[in-house]
Amino acid sequence: MTLTGALLSHYRRHPLQLAALALMILLATMLWSGVHQLTGQARDSLARAEQSLSGGREAVRSDGQPVTVDDFVRLRRAGVCVMPWLEVPDPDGPGRLVGIDPLAGQCLVSDSHSGRAPALDGDPFVDIHRAATVSAATPVDSPLHLIVGESPGPLPPGYESAPFQRGPDTGELGRSFLLNLDALGALVLMITALLLRAVYRLGQAQRETSFVLLARYGVPDRVIRRRLVLEILLLSALCIGPGVWAGSALARLLGNGFGASLEGLFDLPLYAGGTDWLTPALVMTAVVVLACVSDLLVPARCRAWLDRGGRSLWPGVILAAVGGAAVLVVSGLAATFAAVAVVFAGVGLLVPTVLSHLADRLAARGVDELRRWRWRELGVMARRLALPVVALQFTLALVLAVQALVASFEQTFEGWLDQRLAADWYLDVPAGADAGPAADWLAGQLAGVDGAAWHRIRRGSATVASIGADDGTRASHRLDLLAVAPIGPLLTRWHLLASADRPWDALARGDGVMINEQAARRFGWVIGDRLRLGEAAPGAATDGLPVLGVYADYGRPEGEVLVAGSRWPAGQTPSFEGFAIEPGTADIDRLIDGVTRRWGGEAPEVQENRAIRASANAVFQRTFVLTRAMTLLTLVLAGTALLVMGLVFITSRAWYFRLLRAWGLSGREVFSQLLRLCLGLTLGVALLALPLGIWLTWVLVGRINPEAFGWSLPMAVYPGFWLELLVLSALIGLGIAGLMRRSLAREATS
Amino acid sequence: MTERAPVLAAQGLTRAFASGHQTVSVLERLDLSLAAGQSLALIGRSGSGKSTLLNLLCGMDSADAGTITVLGERFEAGDGEPAHVRHRRWAALRRQRIGVVFQDANLMPALTLLQNVRLRAQLAGQPLAPCRDWLERLGLAAEADRYPDQVSGGQRQRAALAMSFAMTPALILADEPTGSLDRHTADEVATLLFDTLARSPAGARGTTGAALILATHDPELAARCDRIMDLGHRASAGRASTDTSS
DSSP state of A573: P
Asked whether the beta carbons of residue B119 and residue A661 sit closer than 8 angstroms, the reply is: no
In order of A184, A626, A630, the CA distances from A410 in angstroms are 20, 16, 19
Q: Among residues A453, A459, A496, which one has the least CA distance to residue A582?
A: A453
Quick check: helix, strand or coil at residue A70? helix
Q: Quick one: CA dihedral A86, A90, A96, A98, positive or negative?
A: negative
Chain A residue numbers touching B63 (CB-CB < 8 A) = none
Please report the sign of the dihedral spanned by the C-alpha atoms of residue A221, residue A227, residue A230, residue A235.
Answer: negative
How many whole angstroms separate alpha carbon A82 and alpha carbon A80? 6
Of A656, A663, A749, the CB nearest to B61: A749
| Greatest pairwise CA separation for chain A in angstroms | 103
Q: Which long-range contacts (CB under 8 A, 24 or more apart) does A293-299 make?
A: A293/A225, A293/A228, A293/A229, A293/A232, A296/A225, A296/A228, A296/A229
> What's the whole-number mean pLDDT along residues A485-495?
86
| Rounded Cα–Cα distance for residues B166 and B155 (Å) | 16
**For position B207, what pLDDT does the model report?**
44
Three-class SS state of A669: helix
pLDDT-derived band at A322 (thresholds 50, 70, 90) equals very high
Count CB neighbours of A434 within 10 A: 12
Chain A interface mutation, best of B24, B64, B84, B108, highest count of A Cβ atoms under 10 Å: B108
Cβ-defined contact of A665 to B83 (cutoff 8 Å): no
DSSP A300-315: HHHHHHHHHHHH-SHH
What is each CA distance from B4 to A161, B165, B201, B217, B242, in whole angstroms?
116, 21, 17, 28, 22
Which residues in chain A touch residue B166, judged by CB atoms under 8 angstroms apart? none
Stretch among A274-278, A304-308, A549-553, A579-583 having the lowest mean pLDDT: A304-308
Q: Which residues touch A449 (CB under 8 Å, ≥6 apart)?
A: A583, A584, A585, A586
- Residues A168-198: tens digit of each pLDDT: 344 455 666 677 677 777 777 887 888 788 7
Give the pLDDT confidence score for residue A732 in this predicted structure: 86
A376 touching B (Cβ < 8 Å): yes
| Closest chain B C-alpha to A734 CA, distance in angstroms | 22
For A412, the enclosing helix (H) or strand (E) is helix A386-420
- Does the beta carbon of B15 lie under 8 angstroms from any beta carbon of chain A? no
| Beta carbons of A661 and B91 less than 8 Å apart | yes
Task: Name the H helices within chain B.
Answer: 50-57, 83-96, 113-123, 131-137, 153-166, 183-198, 219-223, 231-237
Q: How far is B1 from chain A (nearest CA, A)?
A: 32
**Could you report the per-residue pLDDT of A425-437, keeping only the tens digit for each?**
888 888 777 888 8
* B-contacting residues in A 643-672 (Cβ below 8 Å): 655-656, 658-659, 661-667, 669
> CA B146, CA B113: separation in Å to the nearest integer?
6
Task: Return the number of other C-beta atoms located less than 10 Å from residue A207's C-beta.
Answer: 19
Chain B residues in contact with A377 by the CB 8 A cut-off are 108, 110
Q: Is B27 helix (H, G, I), strand (E, B) or coil?
A: strand
* Residue to substitute from A649, A650, A666, interface B, most B β-carbons within 10 A: A666
Alpha helices, DSSP H, located in A126-220: 128-137, 173-216
d(CA B192, CA B153): 15
* CA dist., res. A737 & res. A715, Å (int): 37
Query: Quick one: pLDDT band at residue B150, thresholds 50, 70, 90?
Result: very high
> DSSP letter at A271?
B
CA dist A555 and B93 (Å) reads: 70
Please give the share of chain A, as a percent, with pLDDT higher than 70. 81
Residues of A in contact with B108 (CB under 8 A): 373, 376-377, 656, 659
Asked if the model's pLDDT at residue B137 lies above 90, the reply is no
pLDDT in tens, A339-364: 998 999 899 888 888 888 888 888 88
- Return the biggest CA–CA distance within chain B: 53
What was the pLDDT predicted at A203?
Answer: 82
Cβ atoms < 10 Å from Cβ of A435: 22
Q: Which of A604, A559, A557, A598 is nearest to A457 (CA)?
A: A604
B104–A contact, CB cutoff 8 A: no
Q: What is the CA radius of gyration of chain A?
A: 32
- Who among A370, A662, A750 is closest to B94 (CB)? A662
Q: Are A75 and A155 in contact (CB under 8 A)?
A: yes
pLDDT, residue A538, reads 47
- What pLDDT is attached to residue A223? 86
The pLDDT mean for chain A works out to 79
In chain A, the N- to C-terminal Cα span, in Å, equals 40
Residue A442's pLDDT is 87
Residue percentage of chain A with pLDDT more than 90: 9
Listed residue (B220, B221, B204) closest to B212, CA to CA = B221
According to DSSP, residue A536 is labeled T
A584-603 b/e (C-beta count within 10 Å ≥ 16 → b): eebebeebbeebbebbeeee
Strands (E), A311-387: none
B91/A372 Cβ within 8 A: no
Cβ contact, residue pair A373, B108, below 8 Å: yes
Top mean pLDDT of A147-156, B19-28, B50-59, B195-204 is at B50-59
Residues 6+ apart with CB under 8 A from A560: A479, A480, A481, A482, A515, A516, A518, A519, A553
Whether A368 contacts chain B with CB within 8 A: yes
The CA-atom distances, in angstroms, between A597 and each of A62, A445, A446, A591, A602 are: 30, 14, 17, 10, 8
Contact A664 B106 (CB under 8 A): no
Q: How far apart are CA A124 and CA A99, in angstroms?
A: 8
Query: In this complex, do A369 and B83 lie within 8 Å of one another by their Cβ atoms?
Result: no
Output the pLDDT for position B64. Answer: 92
Dihedral class, residue A142 (left if φ above 0, else alpha if ψ from -120 to 50, else beta): beta
Which carries the bigger pLDDT value, residue A618 or residue B60?
B60
